[in-house]
Amino acid sequence: MAEHYQNYVDGTWTETLTGETVETVNPASPSETVGQYQQSSAEDANEAVEAASAASDEWASTPAPERGAILRQTAANLDDRKQELTELLTREEGKTHAEAGGEVQRAIDIFYYYAEKTRDMGGTVKSASAERTNLYTKNVPVGVAALITPWNYPIAIPAWKIAPALAAGNTLVLNPASIAPGVAVAIFEALDDAGLPDGVANIVTGPGSEVGDAIISHDDVDAVSFTGSGQVGHMVYDAATADGKRVQTELGGKNPTVVSASADVEKAAAIVAAGAFGVTGQACTACSRAIVHESVYDEFVEAVTERAASIEIGPGDQYEMGPQVSESELDGTLEYIDVGKNEGATLTTGGGQPDGDRFDDGYFVEPTVFTDVGRDFRIAQEEIFGPVLAVTEVNDFDEAVAVANDVEYGLSASIVTQDHTEAERFLTESEAGVVKVNAKTTGLELHVPFGGFKQSSSETWREQGDAGLDFYTIEKTIYDNF
């Protein structure tokens, strides 16, 4: 029997006012129901915001180390349930056990990290021009934060929004994606068990078009943090900024890896394959394009095709690559594969759904490699969000950088090279918020800023590390004349 989950509002687990629920399924076996969640309304969302607003002053005045103690205990609570949450994430989102376990551990680490940051939440002391004057700054919380999170990292992304918001003294309401909200609900179970005061953090499940819109537009909300599609993100940004709210959005990507003439080709193929096909390509930082120097192009194509073809597909508890999260995501990927064929790209491996008993019901697709991809092809320009790699040949380094930058996105980029000058130039010239040398485009450290350029971000505030705290605080300058 599927687990029944409730909203968490004002310190109480509660049913939605609509009385309606929605079920999630296992994408590897869609006939299996995983969880039953509240199909909440705008009225439910408004109650959650009002609870957060009522709790705001008391939480803001709570000493930061005391807030940190609750975050620390939350991390410990999640750690105690790591195996359980790993299995839930795999069943609900489709990641492999290794990928899901890594994501759960990241959420644990994020709460531990921000728990320690609360010890250093003071401002800075400056020298005053006048005598008998203390001149210093103090960071104060923004207020009530509305958090909207996607399904592809259903515990890590909520964690890296929730933890800094609470550490800085804000209260919040989270609306997670309806496809895989179970592990996000678990964060609130951990917070509740850690002794979080009533109303400080609230979660309301249900459609973003209703619940998300309600919390974003509520007058008591001071800040909005959104991660998701570009189309929705731009609407969120416009609506929130029109109301004078502080906003950060992290959106899509079309991330390149440049393979230079000096690259170790086998190493380059391994790096690109890991970035392209890990988490079934369902990452905003996934490698979607390989831009390869003509001198190593044929060798690279052979190597990356062989790696893609060798990946074992199946349910995430047993295989190397799991399913896509839903039928609509699978259909979208298959449509782009047809687009690539029609554009004249060469399909070297994959391109369809795998055959076999274990694939009968699930949303599985083969790791796919297209070669001979023109820089203006749709599969080289548009985000696919599936395990599809477009390989483009270039004549020199300058052309490689130009092709890498010739998209509307700018989230993550990497280069594989043994030429230090090329590496340094790429770090400088790449139009991306995250740039790597001899590494895959996916994978982020939690203590440094994360965000994109161009259409990948609002280019306002970064997430994670100290930057994550910056978004949730306002600096006050104090002149204390004694």
Query: Tokens for 2?
Result: 């599927």
Helices 182-193 and 82-93 cross at an angle (nearest 10°) of 160
Helices (H), 348-396: 378-381
Can you name the residues that pair with 92 across neighbouring β-strands? none
Q: Is 287 a catalytic residue?
A: no
DSSP 3-state of 226: strand
Give CA separation, 385 vs 285, 286, 382, in Å: 10, 8, 9
Buried/exposed 27-53: b ≥16 CB within 10 Å, e otherwise: bbbeeeebbbbbbbbbebbbbbbbbbb
Catalytic choice (284, 321, 337, 401): 284
Distance CA 101, CA 10 (A): 30
Distance CA 26, CA 36 (A): 12
The strand ranges marked E within 18-60 are 21-26, 29-38
Distance CA 416, CA 268 (A): 6
Q: Are 50 and 199 in contact (CB under 8 A)?
A: no
| CA 241, 244, 245, 246 torsion-angle sign | positive
Give CA separation, 17 vs 40, 41, 46, 367, in Å: 7, 7, 11, 43
Scanning the structure block, which residue is given the tokens 């496809």? 179
Q: Please identify every residue annotated as catalytic.
A: 284
